[in-house]
Amino acid sequence: MNVTFRQLSAFHAVARLGSFAAAAGALHVTPSALSNLVRELEDAVGLRLLERTTRRVRLSAAGTSYYENAERVLRAVNDAKLCAEDLKRQLVGTVRVAATQIICWAVLPELLSAFRTAEPQVRVLVTDAKRSEIGDLLDDGHVDLGILPDYQTNDELHKELLLTAHTHLACNPAHPLAGHECIAWDELTDVPLISSGITAMLTRAELGKDLPIIVESGLNFATSALGLVRANLGVALMPGYVESALNPSQVHMIRLVKPTIANRVVLCTIKGRELTPAAEIFRSFLLAHMTQAGSKCGTGVPCIGGPMV
């Protein structure tokens, strides 16, 4: 016996409404199609479920008992449908993201705009925080995801690479170095640098302490350093990903080479902690979006400032 949902629905509608025409209208099918479905059901169960007269349709004795079971099955199917809808609605939610100030300013706006277009049902709340604070925000459950430069290791964090950007020198277009496309590090021996944030830390770690780079001032935030650069008060080390957010008439970016230093940006979560559906949607979008961008330079992740050398 092979009974289908459509057959049960047709029988239930006819029995409830007492008319093939009314049931056909309710189910948006033709009366002949509805009649065929009921006949197929009766053939499948081997029982006459409806008594048909020229004036009305009513349940047979067997049909009365069968109707109760059919209604129970249809109710269970409807409950399953409602359950599925509830699960879908869980995807409509909020994801909380913490990122460093420079990433909030230079990287996230374009990503958030693209995400809003792709997934308008998910709201993203962004918190700008110091790099050292983001691990605590994740651990305490205040945010679902963290986006930050990859520098210090935290064993509790699961990291996924989003992009790699080369270290650049940011200067005012009127600065003597502004005409260069690339500059070697040893050419900066007598150039005072405005030091700020993670890029300066990476530089010291990669180049060693013995390279005579003059640091004129130390700032916590890259945006503060860029303000001084814009006013032609000095030059600063910057990750290449800030270039898209800069006005080239105010700040010129020069790639630093020999060696090339990578600034890696990672997406962080707490190891073993399950993400909410909304957070998982945003995480998957970021990784897919950035991987697609990275395929243009053959790295698998975006490599800003040209291929690594």
Closest CA to 134 of 122, 146, 124, 152: 146
Judge if 255 and 155 occupy the same domain.
yes
Judge if 108 and 80 occupy the same domain.
no
Judge if 144 and 119 occupy the same domain.
yes
From the number of C-beta atoms within 10 Å of its C-beta (0-12, 13-18, 19+), residue 24 rates as buried
Please state the pTM of the whole predicted model. 0.62
Report the alpha-carbon distance of residue 62 to residue 173 in Å, rounded: 91
Question: Residue 10: inside a domain, yes or no?
Answer: yes
Judge if 72 and 211 occupy the same domain.
no
**In sequence order, what are the residues at sequence separation of 6 or more whose Cβ sits closer than 8 angstroms to the Cβ of residue 224?**
196
Report the alpha-carbon distance of residue 83 to residue 100 in Å, rounded: 39
Length of the chain: 309
Judge if 64 and 116 occupy the same domain.
no
Judge if 17 and 148 occupy the same domain.
no
Contact 235, 175 (CB under 8 A): yes
Tally DSSP H helices, then E strands, for the chain: 10, 13
Query: How many domains are contained in the chain?
Result: 2
* Structural domain ending residue among the three candidates 35, 54, 87: 87
* Three-state DSSP class for residue 204: helix
Closest CA to 204 of 237, 163, 171, 161: 237
CATH number at residue 237: 3.40.190.290
Judge if 80 and 114 occupy the same domain.
no
Question: Residue 309: inside a domain, yes or no?
Answer: no
- The C-alpha torsion from 221 through 226 and 229 to 230, rounded to 10°, is -150
Contact 297, 262 (CB under 8 A): no
Judge if 290 and 222 occupy the same domain.
yes
**In sequence order, what are the residues at sequence separation of 6 or more whose Cβ sits closer than 8 angstroms to the Cβ of residue 85?**
none
Report the alpha-carbon distance of residue 166 to residue 264 in Å, rounded: 9
Report the alpha-carbon distance of residue 255 to residue 180 in Å, rounded: 9
Judge if 80 and 143 occupy the same domain.
no
Range of the domain at 67: 5-87
pLDDT mean by block of 10 residues, the chain; 309 residues: 85 88 88 90 88 82 88 86 66 84 91 92 90 87 90 76 89 90 85 69 59 58 85 87 88 89 88 89 91 50 43
* Structural domain ending residue among the three candidates 56, 87, 118: 87
Question: Residue 227: inside a domain, yes or no?
Answer: yes
Judge if 28 and 136 occupy the same domain.
no
Judge if 221 and 103 occupy the same domain.
yes
* Structural domain ending residue among the three candidates 61, 87, 113: 87
Contact 217, 233 (CB under 8 A): no
